[in-house]
Structure 1
Amino acid sequence: MSDSLSDSLCDIGFIGAGVMGKNLILNLADNGYRVCAFDLDQSRLNALLDQHIRERGDLPPLVQTCNSYTELLAKVKAPHLIILSVPAGAPVDDVCNKLLDAGLKADDIVVDTGNSLWSDSVERCKRYEGRLIFFTTAVSGGEMGARFGPSLMPSGDPYAWSRIEPVWHAIAAKVDPATGQPIERSVPGKPVKEGEPCAAYIGPIGSGHYVKMVHNGIEYADMQMICEAYHVMRSALGMAPADIAQVLREWNKGPLNSYLINISAEVLATKDGETGQPLVDVILDRAGQKGTGLWTAVSSLEVGCPAPSIAEAVFARALSTRKVLRTRASKKLQGPELEAVGPARRAEVIAQLHDALYCAKICVYAQGFDLMKLAAREQGWQLNFAEIARIWRAGCIIRAAFLQSISDAYERDVKLSNLLLDDFFAGQIAERQGSWRRAVADATLNGIPVPALSSALSYYDAFRTESLPANLLQGQRDFFGAHTFSRVDRPEQEKYHVQWSRPERPVVTV
């Protein structure tokens, strides 16, 4: 191939021009990469080209499209770098197989950026070994993140990462290294070149999508806890959505500063164009989910790592879908009389909710990072938790100032067993736990459900308790199933069983 022909070829092939794919392509072009795009839906390609040409103005276009997998490979430099933005599951394999049929080679890289289950990625890598290099990158940040800078969690073959790293560092969200704050951009064609990129190699195949899965589980809990605080302010304090929005804006100036607090305030401040009512009041209280929170809860059970607040957030969404049944129950089941809080105590209750949300947030992140630690041990991954916290500071849905403190905690102690054992976070909860307990107690006494806030408190109390009632539980298990138990006055590996049916209850060493 001549140099002139090589220079005319694209740097990257991209398959999938849906919402996320289109915006990633435009982001790549903003950063100077020539992209050839393919999608089975020609209207998506037309929309992509129209937007790209409009945004480029008088500058020559960097995006072109094609009509087949064969044409895609012909228009991209070899060895090929092909990025996929297609639905998880069978579509990923379908595209990989069609690329192989079109002539993909063993040293060509295929990058899955969809919301794939991490274990599927592991199996996929084995399936295509020797035929192509299968690599994954989990992408967080939604449509705007993809367009102007997402948080990227790549994993797979280290050689593939060496080729992809400059691309991902270019298009990723950036943070100010001095403050840890996001460097925002929202103007096409003007990418952020300075700052630290929110993209870092996570580890072997599957690890990136696992970390993203846990990110989403934390996201579920974070969103649910904000909703619970809103529920208390709406029901117990009788506050209007616009007033609650103002409270959240104030919270966003302190330790709760985050993207989710910010957008929650915006949602609550918005009015419905048709009725003039607060928009939140005309949105049906039936929450959807795409499965990543569920996957996180399931994984926590499989690994044996408690993540109750994440699970409660998943359950809360599931219960929200039972709208008809809840409506019937609301007319039949009795609860306590709601004790409205007067204006004199409003500031106090709001302050308690702030501290409850902050303390519970610490516990949710402790649960998520503990889950990643145990999964990494099981899978043989070497995860850098300080770096993971850093790449979540911008571009992703859970981006927050709070993440700088988490990164600092793991920088202080790379072997930190649990985030709650870090001196800074232990001190933060010690200072605020009284407010947290009162907020949960008041909500419970008023019959206002706060499953995530209260489960986080129970997690904290169980975690700090040296002797739990699991001794009775293990006795129960031995009674009905001869499951044996260990003794506090003997080595733990020695097992014992009581012959419960005999009057003298003899203890038998197993």
Structure 2
Amino acid sequence: MSETGLCDLAVVGLGVMGGNLARNFASRGLRVAGYQRTVEHAHALAAAHPEAHLRIASTLEELVGMLERPRRLVLMVNAGPAVDSVLDQLDPLLEDGDIVVDGGNSLYTDTDRRVARAEARPWRFVGMGVSGGSEGALLGPSIMPGGDRYAWERLRPPLEAIAARSASGVCVTYCGRGSAGHFVKMVHNGIEYGDMQLIAEVTSLMREGMGWPWGQVADTFAEWNRGELESYLIEITADILRAPDPQNPGALLIDAILDRAGQKGTGKWTVVAAAEHGVPIPTIAAAVDARLLSAAKDLRTRAEAALRPARGVIQGVSSADLRDALYASKIASYTQGFALLQAASEARDYGTNLAEVARIWTGGCIIRAVFLERIRAAFAQASGDKSELLVLAPDFAADVARRLPGWRRVVAAAAAAGHPIPGLSASLAWFDTLTQSRGSASLIQAQRDYFGSHTYERVDAPGVFVHTEWPKSSQ
């Protein structure tokens, strides 16, 4: 708290994430003001956590008056129109140097628009990704701010105070200009989609394809979490698969959960952004498609009854093969995500440091994993302004090469037995396409020139576009 008795910062939106973030700030010795449209909820939060000494405002005007200048306000409201509505209300209340932070999962193009708006105003705007869920918000999330550099320097002390810490340091960094913070968070979530899909597929292969009891599946994930696959998502998978069903003694909760996955849009945004930037991300796209198909539960039930696909026991696959397939596919997913970050940074002038992004993902966030430190090191050692694809870094290239035989065995055996593995198979197809110096696109170019005179390049004259009057077969 400042010597004037004013608050150090404010949190607007005191739901689960915002309330926990406000409590986190307060636990680090900061004086926090809070506002929630439903004032009763805000007062209830303050009363439930008196140790935080939250000061609750009844209006945004009152909230602004509680803050030391230049003011710092963190918005934790729903992405979309709600953010613009709060900005509209704050705009006439703010002064030179005041900072407004959007800490929600906003679409980066919305953040671009809000950054442009702030450039014409005396206050400054920051789009900031926050990962770690409600527990991370309270105990230490991974934080991804972007936008105004001056604003970052003003925000840095409180953000470093509340962020997670790992062996690589405090898990917050400046992600770059403009909407970089929200773009980085979007790609984080895209990788998260891919990671979760790959783990779910391997779990299904163990249980449905190989007939393992849930206890053996859980024990395998717990064992993997003590090695190279150590990560938050692997850890919680082992916990989930052991959880009892509170409504059915003797049963496991996993068997009672409907196989219909939800999504909030960040995975889809990642796929759209990748297409716009010309970056293939098939692992992440397969994960998004799988969630869409999971939502069509009734359709899948009718299709299974009508088409009666044959599904058998998976043969010739070991636990080590499953581990290798999961590990290699995860490297494919992370490679695709970081390639998108690099392409966007160059196209949009973000100036994003990929090594720093990997570093702040080593703790606090949902995709935190032990190999992220190796990813950080790979990008830190890259020479020049443009890094190679992650999978081409010597350390990871050798890793994937060792795991390729097991990866192929898993994908082939699952396909032969009729078990769907869209993420694992898309990852392997990406690898095989990437590593084929002469692919199948020559025929596609010939077809395009045949029906549309789109031209093509010759192998002996790349860069020179030619058109051929193709001979027509007699019909």
Query: 1:7 Cα shift?
Result: 2.1
Moved over 4 A (4+): none
Do the aligned residues in 1 keep the contact of 2:115 with 2:179 (CA within 8 Å)?
A: no
Per-residue CA deviation, residues 190-236 of structure 1 (Å, 9 max, x unaligned), is xxxxxx21000011120111011011000000000000001100112
- State the one-letter code of the partner of 1:400: A
Aligned equivalent of 2:467, options 487, 494, 497: 497
Look up the match of 1:106: 96
Alignment of 1:256 onto 2:229? yes
Q: Using a 3 Å threshold, how does the CA distance of structure 1 residues 339 and 502 change in structure 2: closer, same or farther? A: closer
Alignment of 1:27 onto 2:1? no
Aligned equivalent of 1:287, options 261, 279, 282: 261
Query: 1:434 Cα shift?
Result: 0.3
Query: 1:78 Cα shift?
Result: 1.3
Alignment of 1:436 onto 2:407? yes
Alignment of 1:477 onto 2:448? yes
Query: 1:130 Cα shift?
Result: 3.3
Per-residue CA deviation, residues 366-415 of structure 1 (Å, 9 max, x unaligned), is 10111111111111222211110000001000000010110111122144
Query: 1:479 Cα shift?
Result: 0.6
Alignment of 1:235 onto 2:208? yes
Do the aligned residues in 2 keep the contact of 1:336 with 1:445 (CA within 8 Å)?
A: no
Per-residue CA deviation, residues 99-144 of structure 1 (Å, 9 max, x unaligned), is 123x211321101001001111111111232322111211000000
- State the one-letter code of the partner of 2:205: V
- State the one-letter code of the partner of 2:5: S
Query: 1:242 Cα shift?
Result: 2.5
Do the aligned residues in 1 keep the contact of 2:142 with 2:163 (CA within 8 Å)?
A: yes
Query: 1:283 Cα shift?
Result: 0.3
Alignment of 1:307 onto 2:307? no
Do the aligned residues in 2 keep the contact of 1:38 with 1:67 (CA within 8 Å)?
A: yes
Distance 2:314 2:131 in 1: 40
Look up the match of 1:97: 88
Aligned equivalent of 1:318, options 292, 295, 300: 292
- Secondary structure of the 1:13 match is strand
Distance 1:304 1:29 in 2: 43
Look up the match of 1:398: 367
Distance 2:209 2:119 in 1: 59
Q: Gaps (5+ residues) in structure 1?
A: 178-195, 504-510
Do the aligned residues in 2 keep the contact of 1:238 with 1:340 (CA within 8 Å)?
A: no
Q: Using a 3 Å threshold, how does the CA distance of structure 1 residues 358 and 158 change in structure 2: closer, same or farther? A: same
Distance 1:283 1:22 in 2: 29
- State the one-letter code of the partner of 2:98: D
Look up the match of 2:157: 166
Aligned equivalent of 2:6, options 4, 9, 17: 9
Alignment of 1:271 onto 2:240? no
Q: Percent identity?
A: 44
Alignment of 1:467 onto 2:431? no
Q: Using a 3 Å threshold, how does the CA distance of structure 1 residues 232 and 9 change in structure 2: closer, same or farther? A: same
- Secondary structure of the 1:8 match is coil
Distance 2:373 2:309 in 1: 42
Look up the match of 1:140: 131
Distance 2:408 2:371 in 1: 21
Distance 2:365 2:13 in 1: 21
- State the one-letter code of the partner of 1:23: N
Alignment of 1:41 onto 2:38? yes
Aligned residue runs from structure 1 range 147-226, under 5 A: 147-177=138-168, 196-226=169-199
Per-residue CA deviation, residues 349-373 of structure 1 (Å, 9 max, x unaligned), is 2111100000000111110111111
Distance 1:451 1:473 in 2: 24
Query: 1:6 Cα shift?
Result: 5.2
Do the aligned residues in 2 keep the contact of 1:106 with 1:130 (CA within 8 Å)?
A: no
- State the one-letter code of the partner of 1:379: R
Per-residue CA deviation, residues 263-298 of structure 1 (Å, 9 max, x unaligned), is 111111101011132111100000000000000011
- Secondary structure of the 1:137 match is strand
Do the aligned residues in 1 keep the contact of 2:112 with 2:179 (CA within 8 Å)?
A: yes
- Secondary structure of the 1:285 match is coil
Do the aligned residues in 2 keep the contact of 1:202 with 1:208 (CA within 8 Å)?
A: yes
Look up the match of 1:129: 119
Per-residue CA deviation, residues 434-467 of structure 1 (Å, 9 max, x unaligned), is 0000011111111000000011001111111100
Distance 1:302 1:148 in 2: 36
- Secondary structure of the 1:134 match is strand
- Secondary structure of the 1:269 match is coil
Per-residue CA deviation, residues 301-340 of structure 1 (Å, 9 max, x unaligned), is 1111100010000000000011111111111213334136
